[in-house]
Structure 1
């Protein structure tokens, strides 16, 4: 299950009041990217993609966090009965299904670490998981951007880790996957509509 768009927007607004920051604008742009790509893929629901994008970082409602925001989001969405949102809250930070491949600080308890590790080992990603992972990289607080820009920004912020290149390659692979379905470039899809607004980078 997942909430409708109006509820999801209210949830994001409330979460932003609890923990103000650019993450809410980023979340909205992830949602827009996910909806636009889903619209070009016959097997994906636009509203579900939009809502999952809006709420993928909802765990940040509890405050500034690194890895912990994934499990906080999972727990919050699960408590609301939104199992499909809970899923992307946990999967969106892991282009590679390995908790040790995450580059963020492991600010979780031992029990939370064990849960995330087991969850990732026992799940098979679906196209909503990989869509939100991709859109998380395609969107920042200002709008849409080239994956290469996000990769550079992330590397400057976190440095180079053993899994850095593999994470990039996985994300690029997800881009290739959706472009194969759509028969067109992700960037051309994202550049359509709402041109000239502050929420969009034309690429």
Structure 2
């Protein structure tokens, strides 16, 4: 795909190099999770008219690119946004933030906030102004379909995240929105999303 910068994302080849560099800076399971998120996005986008499957894969692959700077919680969204904007990747920058907020409520991350008050204000304002498109929604969904070991049912990923970061009164509303995203894309595909994700049952229950 040529002139990908016009779409606000790097090429797939560039994305692989960006992720490889990030892994050298901060190795961890987040890297494989990112690869599977990208693969899920591509496989689903291939079944939906109007979505570019390569753009989808790149956005999924680099949604957590803010983790290149270290082990942080929600700060990785801001770090990813800043990194992508510095590179001129405006759509990627947007995804770095929106992937964390399928339920568009800043309060969902209060227990995880690990950045400055200035960044909190920026993030709050950003979420109030942004309107999610299908790429935002797709990466929000695919983030919940990918473990470092492969694709999984939504419920397994939800429990995985809850065990690591805890829950609050907004966790259930966030889960409900994620299931709504699944229904939304299945309506566009006219088939279950699990049908296009290889080995999802085996990886979920192993």
TM-score when scaled to structure 2? Answer: 0.91
Q: Tell me how many residue pairs correspond in the alignment.
A: 197
Distance 1:85 1:159 in 2: 27
Output aligned runs, 1:93-172, within 5 Å.
93-102=100-109, 105-172=112-179
Q: Deviations over 1:39-66 (max 9, x none)?
A: 0001100111000011100000110110
Which residue does 2:95 correspond to in 1? 88
The answer to whether the 8 Å contact 1:67/1:104 transfers is no
Aligned pairs for 1:22-33 (under 5 A) are 22-33=29-40
Runs of 4+ in 1 over 3 A off after TM superposition: 200-203
- Of 69, 77, 80, the residue aligned with 1:73 is 80
Residue equivalent to 1:57: 64
- Unmatched 5+ stretches in structure 2: 1-7
Pairwise CA distance, 1:95: 1.2
What does the per-residue CA deviation read over 1:158-182, in whole Å, with 9 as the maximum and x for residues that have no partner?
3331101100000000000000000
Asked if the contact 1:103–1:158 (Cα under 8 Å) also holds between the matched residues in 2, the reply is no
Query: How do 1:174-189 residues align onto structure 2 when only pairs under 5 Å count?
Result: 174-189=181-196
List per-residue Cα deviations over 1:124-182 (Å, max 9, x = no partner): 10010010010001001000000011122222223331101100000000000000000
CA distance in 2 between partners of 1:156 and 1:14 (Å)? 29
Change (3 A) 1:172 1:61: same
Q: Does 1:20 align with 2:31?
A: no
Whether the 8 Å contact between 1:70 and 1:93 is mirrored in structure 2 is: yes
| Aligned residues of 2:34 and 2:60 also touching (Cα < 8 A) | yes
Match of 1:3 in 2: 10
SS at match of 2:23: helix
> Which blocks of at least 5 consecutive residues in structure 1 are unaligned?
none
Which sits farther off after the overlay, 144-153 or 64-73?
144-153
Q: Distance in 1 between matches of 2:65 and 2:106?
A: 19
